[in-house]
A = this chain, B = another copy of it.
Amino acid sequence: MTSPVRLALLGCGTVGSEVVRLLHEQSADLAARVGAPLELAGIAVRRLGRDRGDLPVDPALLTTDALGLIKRDDVDVVVEVVGGIEPARGWLVEALRAGKSVVTANKALLAEDGGALHDAAAEGGGDLYYEAAVAGAIPLLRPLRESLHGDRINRVTGIVNGTTNFILSAMDATGAGFAEALDEATELGYAEADPTADVEGFDAAAKAAILASLAFHTRVGAADVHREGITEVTAADVASAKAMGCTIKLLCIAARGVDAAGRETVNVRVHPAMIPLTHPLASVGDAFNAVFVEAEAAGQLMFYGRGAGGAPTASAVLGDVVAVARNRLAGVRAASESAYADLPVRPMGEALTRYHVSLDVADRPGVLAAVAGVFARHDVSIATVRQGSAAGTTGRGADAELVIVTHVAPDAALAATVGELRGLDIVRSVTSVLRVEGGL
């Protein structure tokens, strides 16, 4: 048989130890698929002494010198599952420049400085694969990179963060508020002790940047992504959504558009939004992920699966390892970064969105006219209005509820409309403001 392809594994936590386990358990199958055995040359860890249970690995392979391991001549492929910007960036740039192939699950680094990695890969001639960086085990990046290359993607809408989807699913199911649902998620291990990266949308924004880059052949970084988390989603919002036949999801959206000058642009954003229960994304519950793609010729596509967890992520990592190992044996590189379109990123204020707004208003003639006038002043067209007695005010008799859903308008105009409504005398309170997606 051919001489082995040798791997350096950087990191041996939840994902890394699953990679080690799968390499061990499926070594015969993997060798058949690659055409040569896969062999671990070494594993870089933070602490040598840690108890690693029954991990099927020779302790002599462990090292704390990641850079030394990467530089070894007998290492062909570097697999990084450490995460974070540094020292991962330095390690991977070093590896790629030296001509090694890299498989990484590091979404933060790719979103922060993917360009540096792609440039280093081009310089060294190795492959850079990162299927595990978005939506865990769901084979998603390869279809975007390759299968849809003959098509034109217009929009990508995804649920790409399992923690927030678990929390929102719980709020929807039980009527609980955000804090209570977060507590449950933490208890069950779906949320980390510090949940900021998840609940504030940073994790989803990094994935949005990666998805947008691939879908639109344009370098999009985390800084280009408009980001809102779910911490301000209330039980009242969830109830409003239900009343509309909708559910609330934290969506990452990357959409092609055209600016005032007629140039093609792309807008990339992460925020909670109402989607109709009939939308395929609405039934994606708990910690599952799914990405909905709209392409010119292919129409609507959806990819669904587990977005996180040691084994699912390790599956995606190993799929990439098999691919880059085969490429090395064949002496070839996969398609490199495709950023030829280089579309300008449009700021959130110019993105076209729809709003759902619930108001408690004084129950007297002329109120609807006054409210509608505010929308008109901002050139925002109203799609539907529903009037009823305000929730929680029954008995007072003087208030009414107005629920308004708009047509699409520039996000800035919608935000300004809501701002002005808040200042109106006749508006007692704005009880819920949510963007609407998915064709309500």
A: which residues have CB within 8 A of B? 18, 22, 26, 29-30, 32-33, 131, 136-139, 142-143, 146-152, 217, 280, 283, 295-306, 309, 311-312, 314-323, 326, 330, 332-333, 335, 338, 340-341
Contact = CB atoms under 8 A, between A and B. Distances in A.
A149 B280 CA distance: 27
Given A142-B143, A332-B332, A335-B326, A148 B298 contact: no
Nearest to A299: B306
Contacts of A330: 332-333
Contact of A149 (B33, B137, B300, B306): B33
A308 to B, nearest CB: 11
A301 B137 contact: yes
Given A22-B297, A298-B316, A33 B338 contact: yes
A303 B306 contact: no
Nearest to A143: B139
- Centre residue among A321, A330, A333 by max chain B CB count within 10 A: A330
Given A33-B340, A148-B315, A150-B315, 19 more contacts: A22-B151, A26-B150, A29-B152, A30-B150, A32-B340, A33-B150, A138-B301, A139-B146, A147-B316, A147-B319, A150-B316, A150-B318, A297-B315, A298-B311, A299-B309, A299-B311, A301-B305, A302-B305, A330-B333
A304 to B, nearest CB: 4
| List of 7 A-B pairs having minimum Cβ-Cβ separation, nearest first | A150-B318, A139-B147, A139-B143, A137-B298, A297-B315, A301-B305, A298-B315
A304 B306 contact: no
A298 B283 contact: no
Contact of A314 (B139, B297, B312): B297
A149 B283 contact: no
Contacts of A217: 32-33
B142 A319 contact: no
B150 A317 contact: yes
Contacts of A30: 150
Contact of A301 (B304, B321, B323, B338): B304
10 contacts: A22-B151, A32-B340, A136-B298, A139-B143, A142-B142, A150-B314, A150-B316, A297-B311, A299-B305, A302-B305
A385 to B, nearest CB: 31
- Centre residue among A137, A138, A148 by max chain B CB count within 10 A: A137
Contacts of A312: 297-299
Contact of A298 (B33, B147, B305): B305
Contacts of A317: 150
Contacts of A299: 137, 305-306, 309, 311-312
Nearest to A295: B315
A142 B147 contact: yes
A318 B137 contact: no
A323 B148 CA distance: 10
Contacts of A296: 311, 315
A319 B146 contact: yes
A317 to B, nearest CB: 7
A264 B332 CA distance: 34
A152 B305 contact: no
Contacts of A150: 22, 26, 30, 33, 314-322
- Centre residue among A136, A139, A303 by max chain B CB count within 10 A: A139
